[in-house]
Amino acid sequence: MSIISDLIYFDNPAIWDSFGGTSSGIGGLTWQMFIWSVIVGLLVITWLIYNLIFFRHKEGDPEPKDALKAGVFPHERGDVKIELTWTIAPLILVSWLTFLSLAPLDYMWDIPDNEEADVTVEVTAGSWYWGFEYANDYEKPDEFTKCSSNINCLEVPANSIIRFNVTSVDNLHAFYLPDMGIKQDAVPGLNTATWVDTSIVSARDEPYRIYCTEYCGNSHSQMLAEIYVTEVSNA
């Protein structure tokens, strides 16, 4: 029933949209990994189908000399060139993707202190809701009119550095804001943090969606929240 509930209630995030700033950021890294995964997958499937078709044992064919036998490895089947290829090529690819990830991950992990951020938000996860509180005695601007409650609704200023301090009151959850390219685990008894520069998205009347991406019970798929990015005069 929970899977059916997920299919009904889960509003798919815009995973194909650009996020994380520029194409050289987290969004670009995600696309790089996705494209290379497709290429490698197609190569493996093509090679598998080729071998299944052209090397299948047909009725009436003599038993090959190097036929597999239990407990015996047929050394005649070894091919040093192929083994070197499937060892070195993935090593180069993984090294390349690791190199590409260094700058975006360093940017993402360079979390500003509470005092350095324009706004610090305390995010509390529970079954099955998101609670938000502004820290450091932040006074909400007059332009913040879209949230009537601090449960499942948050409003932040545009063109600002926002720090999120994340925790949970019961079990594991995951704070996920796909349009801004951030995701952070919410762990009971542990304070974690993430951040975003709201200049990477547009200020608008419609909300951006917040999801829980850690399965947390029967109503996991309904653990949704909204975040509004609003232009303010003093931001």
pLDDT digits (tens, 9 = 90+) for 150-165: 999 999 999 999 999 9
Selection from 93, 92, 102, 109 nearest residue 29 by Cα: 102
13 vs 68: CA distance, rounded Å = 49
Give backbone dihedrals phi and psi of 51, rounded to 5 degrees, phi first.
Answer: -70, -35
Structure tokens at 106: 């360093």
Same domain, yes or no, for 143 and 99?
Answer: no
216 vs 128: CA distance, rounded Å = 8
Q: Which of 67, 85, 109 is the last residue of a domain?
A: 109
Q: Which of 51, 86, 109 is the last residue of a domain?
A: 109
Asked if the structure places residue 14 within a domain, the reply is no
Residue 195 pLDDT grade (very low, low, confident, very high; cuts 50, 70, 90): very high
Cα separation of the two ends of the chain: 46
112 vs 88: CA distance, rounded Å = 39
pTM (predicted TM-score) = 0.72
What pLDDT was estimated at residue 25? 67
Q: Which of 84, 109, 134 is the last residue of a domain?
A: 109
230 vs 141: CA distance, rounded Å = 10
What pLDDT was estimated at residue 21? 43
Asked if the structure places residue 69 within a domain, the reply is yes
Same domain, yes or no, for 131 and 223?
Answer: yes
- Domain range for residue 32? 26-109
Asked if the structure places residue 19 within a domain, the reply is no
- Sheet bearing 225-230, strands edge to edge: 153-157, 225-230, 208-212, 173-177, 182-186
Structure tokens at 191: 């304070």
Asked if the structure places residue 11 within a domain, the reply is no
- Helix H or strand E encompassing 155: strand 153-157
The CATH number assigned to the domain holding 202 equals: 2.60.40.420
Name the residue type at position 192: T
Say how many domains are in the chain.
Answer: 2
Same domain, yes or no, for 203 and 102?
Answer: no
- Preceding omega of 195 cis (within 30 degrees of 0): no
220 vs 203: CA distance, rounded Å = 28
Same domain, yes or no, for 104 and 142?
Answer: no
Same domain, yes or no, for 214 and 168?
Answer: yes
Same domain, yes or no, for 124 and 94?
Answer: no
pLDDT digits (tens, 9 = 90+) for 51-70: 888 888 777 777 776 667 77
33 vs 154: CA distance, rounded Å = 32
